[in-house]
Chain A
Amino acid sequence: MIAHVLKKVITPIFFVLLWYVISQSSEIEIDMKEIISYYLIASGVNQILMARWGDFSSILGKQMIKQGNLNSLLIKPVNPALYTLAIAIGKSYFGYILSILFIVLGLIINPPLSIFAVFSGILFMIVGFCVSYAFNIFESAIFFYVPDGDGFRSTINHIKSLLGGLYIPLKYFPINLKSIVEVLPFSTMIYLPTIAFRFNEPNLEFFKFLIISLIWAIVLNILSFYFWKFSLRRYDAVGI
């Protein structure tokens, strides 16, 4: 258990340290409370939403598709994706408890200014989960085409880490790049749910980001549904 906690905190600690060093060696105004809170909430959100290296895509892609365990699900009246999602959630229950603690700690360090901010954070997390679900389906379905799909998964996850705001809050991106990155689907899984805890009222920014997130959630889920359906035809396993 201690090992699990340490494993989760070590990387955010070094990112916070990096920002501390940056604040010491430049004139840029960096609120360390805000940075610590950001990395804590972002780590928690990332784990809960299975945004980066999610257990869901790992189990569905590697255990179910690659190893042929999907057979036993296809002959049952269950949805293989939802069934696997339930397994993934059950497997990482301690990680979820820890992630909730991270988010709560992040909110204690830099408290939201209104109840609406908490509601906004939860709302963005729900929408972000839908986007992440679609991404996990895409990542798993790669295994229908390439038996060793880990390289592709790894590539997608590197992009998610950077453009999703896990390495660096997107607000520190150069202004032109930031305006593009903020509207990409990656931001809806980590960055937007994290900063959503700071929306104190339903203003223009709140609605802009909510609409962007909702559009991605709908579009990606439709695409992933058909991609999964199409890819399933290629499934060829021993035992069928």
Chain B
Amino acid sequence: MMQSVFDNTKILLANIKYTFQTETAYRIGNLVSVFSTFFYTITYLVFIDVIFSNVDTVAGYSLNEMNFFFLLSQVTAYTFFIINDNISKLIESVNSGNLDLILTKPVSSLFYTSFSKIRVYSMTRDMLPPLLAVIFIINWSELNLSITSLMLGILILILGMLIAQAFLTICALPVFWIGESKQLFNVAQDSWFASGATVPFEGIPSFLKFTFIFLIPGIIPSALATSVALGKSDALTALGVSFFVLIIFFVLRSILWRIALKNYTSASS
């Protein structure tokens, strides 16, 4: 067990170092990328502002609370890019036969494919300036936040991201059987994104809440986490549901991964 954790940590560090070297190769590309994410944040803040020029609250959320919701949805979005990259690469490697190289290594293939590229540098670079701007805009003293509720919200955010990783991996697995899963993966990805970042948890109708918690778990890391952090939802129930969904998706991913590998026909052998 200890050996396995040690091996996985070594792989993780090696992947981070290699990704850092490739990410810092183009200087202008780096600058422009920050510019783009910064601009996106500004356009979205204007979007929220325009909505609030017409109304006082949206589903019980004030402008300040909506900005906080936007902050958490942005944290999940940037974290998501790490997950997204690796799953896209998994689909490509099944098609090209590169997965062979991973399967022959004495490492957990699921772990390796999930974290083969860790974009720590580019994520920090793209995330930090726009998020600092949002953090600066939020009037923190006006928010109904306590240390406990904030911690619970962050915990739900982390659980939600782990669920997202498992969910998207499952959506990518049909590639082992039919040779294609990019479209399904894209739809899952878009649905996950759209559900999590547009409407506050309290405004989502019940049947959509069920869909986007248990089937396409997009609202857990941002909308539900925000609601818990702001004390609008029962934290224990939310935590229980998040753990339950996490276990279901982890078990499903693990079973389906094993079945998928049995169906893998290498392109090179």
A residues bordering B, Cβ < 8 Å? Answer: 3-4, 6-7, 10-11, 13-15, 17-18, 21-22, 24-26, 28, 146-152, 154-155, 158-159, 161-162, 167-168, 172-174, 177
Q: Is A155 touching B39 in the complex (CB atoms < 8 A)?
A: yes
Q: Is B47 touching A10 in the complex (CB atoms < 8 A)?
A: no
Q: Is B54 touching A3 in the complex (CB atoms < 8 A)?
A: no
In Å, the complex CA distance between A94 and B33 comes to: 31
Q: When the two chains form the complex, which single residue of B39, B46, B57 contacts A26, counting CB atoms closer than 8 Å?
A: B57
Stretch from B95-103, B184-192, B234-242 at the A interface: B184-192
Q: Is B190 touching A172 in the complex (CB atoms < 8 A)?
A: no
Q: Is B194 touching A168 in the complex (CB atoms < 8 A)?
A: no
Interface residues of B in 174-199 (CB under 8 A from A): 183-184, 186-187, 190-191, 194-195, 198-199
In Å, the complex CA distance between A15 and B51 comes to: 12
Kindly provide the distance from the CB of B201 to the nearest chain A CB, expressed in whole angstroms: 11
Q: Considering only CB atoms, which chain B residue lies closest to A172 in the complex?
A: B54
Q: Considering only CB atoms, which chain A residue lies closest to B184 in the complex?
A: A3
Range, interface on chain B: 35 or more
Stretch from B24-32, B71-79, B110-118 at the A interface: B24-32
What are the nearest 3 A-B pairs in CB distance? Answer: A151-B32, A21-B203, A3-B183
Q: When the two chains form the complex, which single residue of A28, A148, A151, A162 contacts B54, counting CB atoms closer than 8 Å?
A: A28
In the complex, what residues of A have CB within 8 A of residue B47's CB? 162, 167-168
Q: Is B58 touching A151 in the complex (CB atoms < 8 A)?
A: no
Q: Is B187 touching A21 in the complex (CB atoms < 8 A)?
A: no
B59 at the interface (CB under 8 A from A): yes
Q: Considering only CB atoms, which chain A residue lies closest to B28 in the complex?
A: A146
In the complex, what residues of B have CB within 8 A of residue A150's CB? 32, 36
- A148 and B36 in contact, given A6-B187, A22-B51, A26-B57 (Cβ under 8 angstroms): no
In the complex, what residues of A have CB within 8 A of residue B59's CB? 21, 24-25
B200 at the interface (CB under 8 A from A): yes
Q: When the two chains form the complex, which single residue of A4, A149, A151, A174 contacts B50, counting CB atoms closer than 8 Å?
A: A174
Kindly provide the distance from the CB of B187 to the nearest chain A CB, expressed in whole angstroms: 5
Q: When the two chains form the complex, which single residue of A13, A148, A172 contacts B51, counting CB atoms closer than 8 Å?
A: A172
Q: Is A6 touching B43 in the complex (CB atoms < 8 A)?
A: no
Q: When the two chains form the complex, which single residue of A4, A25, A149, A159 contacts B43, counting CB atoms closer than 8 Å?
A: A159
In Å, the complex CA distance between A151 and B38 comes to: 11
- A10 and B194 in contact, given A26-B55, A158-B39 (Cβ under 8 angstroms): yes
Known contacts A148-B29, A168-B47; 4 further A-B pairs (Cβ under 8 A): A17-B205, A25-B55, A28-B55, A155-B40
